[in-house]
Amino acid sequence: MIKEILDYEIEEARKILYDQRVPELNQESALESLLFCIAGQVSL
């Protein structure tokens, strides 16, 4: 059971979550992601 969460720990968690967020999706990056997914499905 968590008894105490320090402000420092909350700030560190915020930094980690911020680093994990996805940048704004535009048409070019969407097509790039789609191409990557299709290429990943091709078996050699």
Alpha carbon distance 36, 26 (integer Å)? 15
What's residue 11's pLDDT?
92
Rg (CA), the chain: 18
Alpha carbon distance 15, 30 (integer Å)? 26
Reading phi first (left if > 0) and then psi (alpha if -120 to 50, else beta), residue 7 is in alpha
Domain-wise residue ranges, the chain: 1-42
Could you tell me the pTM of the whole model?
A: 0.41
Contacts of 24 (CB under 8 A, 6+ apart): none
1-44 pLDDT, tens digit per residue, is: 567 888 888 899 999 988 887 777 788 888 888 888 888 887 65
